[in-house]
Each structure stands twice: as C-alpha cells, then as structure tokens.
C-alpha cells in the first residue's frame, strides 16, 4: 500500500516549457488535491477534485490545469512555465468531504529558470 | 485576517519539556481540525485530528479544541529532538471550496 505517489521528484524547466505532474493514490479516496508550498506562504490550494469527474479551482489556479483521469489519478499541468511557478508541489487525497483528513504524497520540487 | 493563523516561531524547548503549539481560525462554523508534522524537505504527515471541544490524547500528543474561542492547540509531552519540525494546523473553512485551509506552520526546535 503505497499511499499517494508523485512523479517526478524533481524537475528543472525553462520559462515557457510545459510539463505534467502526476499523482496517484491507492487508498480508494474520492477526493484529490494539488497544493504548492513556498517559503513563508504555507500550503496553497491550486485545484481539487471532490470526486471522479469533477474539478474545481482553489486559491491559486492561474497558470495551471488539471485532469482527474480516473479515481486513482489526478494530474497537474503547467502549459507555459514561469519563474513564479518555482515551488514544491504536493498532491493529497482524502475520503469524500472537506471535513476529512488529507494524506500527502512526497512532493515534486520544480525549478523554472 | 488570515483564515488560519499560527506563530511562525521558532519555538525552542529543551528535551523532555512540554511544547505547546497554538492555532486560531476565523470561521465560526468550522468542524474539523488537524495537526500535521512536516520535517524539512518532506511532505506533511497527519498526527492528530479533533472534532469536538476538549482534549484528545494520542501517546505524547494532546490536541485541545475550544470552538467558542476559535482556538486549537497541540501539546507535545516529553519533547524529543526528533520532534523538531514544522507543525501545520489545518481547518475546514467554508470558503466555497471543499478543502482544508492550512496555517503557515510553527517551527519547533527541541534542544538536546
């Protein structure tokens, strides 16, 4: 039981390049989330998917798109990376409902030059 | 006012002492409260959840919730150097998004 997995662990991009961050969970959770974490800013929600087939914007969605591929997988895409998107990205999952605890993946460190 | 506020620290305590970490939240109707521990370079790890007023104990950890004062705290008894980490408070705030809101975290340093 791996929990929440993320790939890649680390990525360097040039400004304007695109990439997709992958996330998968094996806990049979309905809800999945993408956060970014910057020094002094805490965790900020980018997008979330309350259940398979639905996605919603979070606090900082600009510059990102998501796809809930199936119940297990939730990907985050940067279409045209900017230096301001340099951050650590965490995927999380939970049972249905915003009152449920979330469980995090190991994170992806992204550097945009 | 931030929805979930924590003192950034660092909070420094000697080994064996009680560490007290505090969190305030602004949404009076919040129902679920969580504490996460995050070691440097790692992802947040759930350590406690609390839903009702009062205390909840789990090993060396005690979570305390006071909904009237909109205040949740985490006590760590017999603090160990391995407890040195950043502790994140998370609350379900009804902002129209079905997700938790996280505080910025308090950095705890346990001195040997």
Kindly report the nearest CA distance between residue A42 and chain B, in angstroms: 4
Q: Is the pLDDT of residue A97 over 70?
A: no
Cβ atoms of A40 and B104 within 8 Å: the answer is yes
Whole-number percent of chain A with pLDDT over 70: 98
pLDDT at B14: 97
pLDDT tens for A2-40 read 899 999 999 999 999 999 999 999 999 999 999 999 987
- The mean pLDDT value of chain A amounts to 93
* B34 chain-A contacts, CB cut-off 8 A: 101-102
Instruction: Please tell me whether the peptide bond between B10 and the residue prior to it is cis, using omega within 30 degrees of 0.
Output: yes
Average pLDDT in the A86-106 region? 90
Q: Is the pLDDT of residue B1 over 70?
A: no
- Alpha-carbon distances, residue A89 vs A42, A60, A79 (angstroms): 12, 12, 16
Structure tokens at B90: 């998370």
Q: How far apart are CA B65 and CA B33, in angstroms?
A: 8
Distance from the Cα of residue B87 to its chain's centroid: 6
A48: nearest CA partner in chain B: B99
CB pairs under 8 A between A and B: 57
B105: nearest CA partner in chain A: A42
pLDDT tens for B32-67 read 999 999 999 999 999 999 999 999 999 999 999 999
Average pLDDT in the B9-13 region? 94
pLDDT at B57: 97
Of the candidates B32, B9, B18, B7, the one whose C-alpha atom is nearest the C-alpha of residue B103 is: B7
Q: Which of A23-37, A94-108, B92-106 has the highest mean pLDDT?
A: A23-37
- Alpha-carbon distances, residue B64 vs A8, A29, A65, B45, B91 (angstroms): 38, 28, 38, 19, 14
- CB A83: neighbour CB atoms within 10 A? 11
């Amino acid at each position: 039981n791996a929990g929440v997995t993320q790939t890649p662990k680390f990525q360097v991009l040039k400004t304007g390049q695109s990439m997709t961050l992958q996330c998968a969970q094996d806990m049979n959770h309905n809800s999945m989330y993408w956060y970014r974490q910057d020094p002094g800013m805490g965790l900020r929600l980018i997008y979330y998917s309350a259940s398979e087939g639905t996605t919603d914007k979070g606090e900082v969605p600009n510059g990102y798109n998501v796809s809930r591929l199936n119940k297990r997988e939730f990907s985050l895409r940067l279409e045209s990376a900017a230096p301001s998107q340099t951050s650590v990205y965490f995927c999380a999952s939970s049972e249905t409902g915003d009152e449920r605890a979330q469980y995090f993946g190991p994170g992806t460190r992204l550097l945009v030059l | 006012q931030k929805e979930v506020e924590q003192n950034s620290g660092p909070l420094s305590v000697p080994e064996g002492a009680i560490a007290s970490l505090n969190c305030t939240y602004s949404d009076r109707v919040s129902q679920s409260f969580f504490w996460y521990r995050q070691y440097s370079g790692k992802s947040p790890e759930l350590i406690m959840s609390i839903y009702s007023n009062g205390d909840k104990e789990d090993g060396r950890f005690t979570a305390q919730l006071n909904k009237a004062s909109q205040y949740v705290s985490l006590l760590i008894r017999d603090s160990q150097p391995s407890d040195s980490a950043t502790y994140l408070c998370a609350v379900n705030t009804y902002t129209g998004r079905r997700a938790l809101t996280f505080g910025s975290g308090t950095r705890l340093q346990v001195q040997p």
